[in-house]
């Protein structure tokens, strides 16, 4: 399997696992949003907590130029760590939610 398809499979698997975990509060559902043509992948929270509407992105990952760009990570464990555990090299993971100057200080790719 080529690297791009392998990365797509790993990202979908990790995000699907997060989507199956129901938040401990409110009537909130988690949904995956996968755009395989443009390589955009998200987990989105939708629902209600008491009288308050809950809607927002929990995870947003893109695959661009052979690298996995983590645009947003609202998890405790960190998607980057899970990607590494799944076999993705750190040099193929970009912490896009950090400024380019801060990325240089991490073990991950700058972009």
Place of tokens 């991490």: 106
**Greatest distance between any 2 Cα atoms in the chain:** 48
| Angle (nearest 5°) at CA 75 between 69 and 80 | 35
What tens digit of pLDDT does each residue of 15-34 get?
A: 999 999 988 787 999 999 99
Given a contact cutoff of 8 angstroms between Cβ atoms, the answer to whether 88 and 10 are in contact is yes
Structure tokens at 1: 């399997």
pLDDT score recorded for residue 24: 79
pLDDT of residue 104: 92
- pLDDT tens digit sequence for 75-86: 998 999 999 999
pLDDT of residue 71: 98
pTM over 0.85: yes
CB 79 within 8 A of CB 59: yes
């Amino acid at each position: 399997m080529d690297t791009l398809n392998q990365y797509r499979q790993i990202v979908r698997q990790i995000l699907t696992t997060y989507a199956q975990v129901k938040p401990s509060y409110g009537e909130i559902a988690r949904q995956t949003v996968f755009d395989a043509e443009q390589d955009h992948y998200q987990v989105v929270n939708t629902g209600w907590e008491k009288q308050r509407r809950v809607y927002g992105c929990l995870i947003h990952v893109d695959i661009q130029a052979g690298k996995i760009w983590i645009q947003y990570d609202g998890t405790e464990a960190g998607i980057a760590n899970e990607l590494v555990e799944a076999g993705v090299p750190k040099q193929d993971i970009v912490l896009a939610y950090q400024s380019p100057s801060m990325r240089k200080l991490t073990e991950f790719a700058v972009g």
